[in-house]
Structure 1
Amino acid sequence: MGACLALGSLGSCASCLCGSASCLLSSCCPSTYNSTISRLAFSFLLVLGTLVSIIMILPGMEEHLKKIPGFCVGGSSIPGIQNHVNCDVMVGYKSVYRMCFAMACFFFLFSIIMIRVRSSKDPRAALQNGFWFFKFLALVGITVGAFFIPDGTFNTVWYYFGVVGSFIFIIIQLILLVDFAHSWNQSWLEKAENGNTKCWFAALLSFTFIHYALAFTAVVLFYVFYTTPDNCTEHKVFISLNFIFCIAVSIVSILPKVQVMHPHTNDRRVKEGKSSALMWTMFFMK
């Protein structure tokens, strides 16, 4: 696992390893756009950790993961299941849990360090924008240490952290998607009113239809792959409720009262009867 991380980040850390000490104290990359480069570097570490997690649950990896000393001893307990589960089945998921735990600790640490940092002139900004080689070593060290955490309460506690965190992530993701779709819709409406009206409205309607078709196809696939005719009642209920809610939101979005903007605003680009507001709802059908 550590070797995979090392190979993936070798190129990004090569300049630090071969450069001067000032490179480590400031940044491994040019200092002109430190903030942008820092975002890219942190994103790279996140993607790298995600790829390693995917590799850990691939078929055949359990034989290699079981070789970690003390990592696969006996069974593992899962919330909601009284008996212990065979480690051969759970070793991949246990590895992903620990990899995600290490990444969460790593990024949470830097989020705490950067509280109330307003500009790159703050002394803590140098820690944010530099020391990439040591950051990588810290991430690897936390990851290796996480694999020595014994089973027991860790799996249960981290399971609930995952449930709450994934719920918050999905909510934020939906907000961003709706905002993106709204901006897209508004931009094309402006172009339709200032240019070729028929062309832009046809494009807007086409994309709306395509996304609704994809959403409906996804719902059908959910029923096919995640339910069975005689079982999986909970899955059927959640899929059906989501489908019904999406239809309801789509209908509400084209109502005249929703289409008309606030009376105190001077912007009347979104007018009554324009069905293009359907654009943002198809992103809610996730």
Structure 2
Amino acid sequence: SCLCGSAPCLLCGCCPSAKNSTVSRLLFTFFLFLGTLVSIIMIIPGVEKELHKLPGFCEGSGSVLGVQTHIDCGSFLGHKAVYRMGFAMAAFFFFFAMIMVCVRSSKDPRAAVQNGFWFFKFLILVGITVGAFYIPDGAFTSVWFYFGVVGSFLFILIQLILLIDFAHSWSQLWLRNAGESNAKGWSLGIVTFIFYATSTAAVVLLYVYYTKPEGCTEGKVLISINLILCLIVSAVSILPKI
């Protein structure tokens, strides 16, 4: 009943006060994390070489009990494989998003599908992923590339809006608490220092790992523009009129 019923009782047992909808979000997040992890493994340099060391796993890697495999491990790795994994994840989440259209209450029969049947959901995800690797190359990679570009742009835009909203809400909360308790601003100063120190370290790492002294002009320009914009926004945010 934990995997096939209407409630993921394994997690509910650990968090008895959690709602089904909350646990469902956690499990869907786990599916997303799992797909991301598989995609990362697919693009790690040297993975294909290691797979060829396993006897009978890849084509040309030897035989097991006289049986020679015909699996081309190259088709399971690289950016093309990541595109197919991304296609499978997008199809999976889009399917369940369509199921939940206009569902506004947990009493809706479709809510049971959203909050349960996790074993079958996992099988669906695995099935879509396996099927995606059987899609002929053709124009799939180039077409899905444009889907990825548009989707990633919208994702970053939505995340930026949510981040700005979170920062604004958090700032208002800190100001309200400071006004009610007459507390000094040292705690806010410490948090601000930590954030700026983290941002500075991130910029340094970007210059170290994504640029070279003799080249990578485009990377240098993009990182520098982002740094300059951050400095401008920081200066504008402390103006009295703002």
Shorter-chain TM-score bucket reads: 0.7 to 0.9
Letter in 1 for 2:34: L
SS state at 2:212 partner: coil
- 2:44 matched residue in structure 1: 58
SS state at 1:39 partner: helix
- Superposition pairs of residues 203-222 of structure 1, within 5 angstroms: 203-222=187-206
Q: Is 1:235 aligned to 2:215, yes or no?
A: no
CA contact under 8 A between 2:8 and 2:116: conserved in structure 1? Answer: yes
- 1:134 matched residue in structure 2: 120
Counterpart CA distance in 1 for 2:190 and 2:200 is 15
Choose which of 67, 71, 74 in structure 1 pairs with 2:58. Answer: 67
Counterpart CA distance in 2 for 1:255 and 1:140 is 53
Counterpart CA distance in 1 for 2:138 and 2:224 is 36
Q: Displacement of 1:131 after TM fit?
A: 1.9
- Superposition pairs of residues 259-274 of structure 1, within 5 angstroms: none
Choose which of 223, 246, 256 in structure 1 pairs with 2:207. Answer: 223
- Superposition pairs of residues 167-182 of structure 1, within 5 angstroms: 167-182=153-168
SS state at 2:144 partner: helix
Q: Deviations over 1:109-162 (max 9, x none)?
A: 111111111112222222212222211111100000111112231111111111
Counterpart CA distance in 2 for 1:44 and 1:153 is 31
SS state at 1:53 partner: helix
Letter in 2 for 1:215: S
Letter in 2 for 1:113: I
Q: Structure 2: any 5+ residue segments left out of the alignment?
A: 60-69
- 1:165 matched residue in structure 2: 151
Q: Deviations over 1:49-102 (max 9, x none)?
A: 222222223343224399385756xxxxxxxxxxxxxx59x9332222211111
- 1:272 matched residue in structure 2: none
- 1:27 matched residue in structure 2: 7
Counterpart CA distance in 2 for 1:217 and 1:33 is 39
- Superposition pairs of residues 113-152 of structure 1, within 5 angstroms: 113-152=99-138
Q: Structure 1: any 5+ residue segments left out of the alignment?
A: 1-13, 17-23, 73-86, 259-286
Identity of aligned residues (%): 62
**TM-score between the two structures when normalised by the length of structure 1:** 0.69
Counterpart CA distance in 2 for 1:43 and 1:154 is 27
Counterpart CA distance in 2 for 1:50 and 1:175 is 23
- 1:276 matched residue in structure 2: none
Counterpart CA distance in 1 for 2:200 and 2:150 is 28
Counterpart CA distance in 2 for 1:168 and 1:182 is 21
The alpha-carbon distance between structure 1 residues 222 and 33, as it changes in their structure 2 partners (threshold 3 A), is closer
CA contact under 8 A between 1:56 and 1:96: conserved in structure 2? Answer: yes
The alpha-carbon distance between structure 1 residues 130 and 217, as it changes in their structure 2 partners (threshold 3 A), is closer
Letter in 2 for 1:247: L
Counterpart CA distance in 1 for 2:139 and 2:72 is 15
**TM-score between the two structures when normalised by the length of structure 2:** 0.80
Q: Deviations over 1:16-74 (max 9, x none)?
A: 3xxxxxxx3533436983222221221121122222222223343224399385756xx
Letter in 2 for 1:15: C
Letter in 1 for 2:223: I
Backbone CA RMSD of aligned residues: 2.6
Runs of 4+ in 1 over 4 A off after TM superposition: 68-72
SS state at 1:26 partner: coil
Counterpart CA distance in 2 for 1:25 and 1:212 is 47
